[in-house]
Amino acid sequence: MKDIVEIARKRYTTKHYNPDKKLTPEQMGAIKELLRLAPSSVNSQPWHFIIAATPKSKARIAKAMEGLFAFNKTRVLDAAAVVIFCARTQMDDSYLQHLTDKEREDGRFSGNEEIEEAGYKGRKFFVDIHRKTLKDLPEWAARQTYLNIGAFLLGAAAMGLDATPIEGFDPAILEQEFGFAKQHLAGICLAAVGHRAAHDGNATRPKSRLDPAELFTEI
């Protein structure tokens, strides 16, 4: 097994991609599984992913990289694929039922209706904290979705792929292009994935992180 810390040490934010190197169908399949398998609070899976892997579809995303965000444009156009991480802005009871139905289908309850009912109620309890008490459901969903991005970045590196998390885009233009709001989604972050260009200077730049003494308090 590859040393996970070594993978975390070696992964880095790719600034320049080799536009000629695509993902194999196996790599694309593995990427989708990584996105699908990420954990989320009460298994709410409050996300959706737009995957662009053609010049035309990547150009749609790159429209959101004009002006102040132009520095990210070639990352999107040259990467083998770009993922738009969308977070749900709404979770109604029918969605909660849908999650329970899928868990039943996946064999989580072994036919035990009490366990199923308890699972549904437990999830609803946590979701209601955000729907009704804190009224921060979109933010909560976005936090879950950022966890997915973290898992994705490490997973892509473990697969030997290069990646770039991208918050530098114009959200209004992305919204105009994809119409997320009417689907009760918000496009919150992007990630480019592919193969670094030979001249990508960031590949050889040393990593910089705050020292352990500053970061950890052991109690």
Q: Which residue ranges make up the site for ligand FMN (CB under 6 A)?
A: 12-13, 15, 72, 164-168, 189, 207
Site of tokens 């520095």? 71
| Strand order from edge to edge, sheet including 81-88 | 47-52, 81-88, 185-194, 162-166
Least Å distance, CB 52 to ligand FMN, is 16
Q: Which 3-state string (H, E, C) describes 110-149?
A: CCCHHHHHHHHHHHHHHHHHHHHHCCCHHHHHHHHHHHHH
Dist CA 89 CA 184 (whole Å): 5
Least Å distance, CB 121 to ligand FMN, is 34
Token output for 140 = 């909560």
SS3 of residue 90 by DSSP? coil
Token output for 31 = 């990427």
Residue whose CB is less far from ligand FMN, 161 or 189:
189
Dist CA 51 CA 175 (whole Å): 15
Least Å distance, CB 201 to ligand FMN, is 11
Residue whose CB is less far from ligand FMN, 127 or 149:
149
* Closest residue by beta carbon to ligand FMN: 168
Residue whose CB is less far from ligand FMN, 13 or 89:
13
Residue whose CB is less far from ligand FMN, 19 or 168:
168
Least Å distance, CB 18 to ligand FMN, is 16
SS3 of residue 153 by DSSP? helix
Under DSSP, the state recorded for 70 is: G
Least Å distance, CB 99 to ligand FMN, is 26
Residue whose CB is less far from ligand FMN, 44 or 72:
72
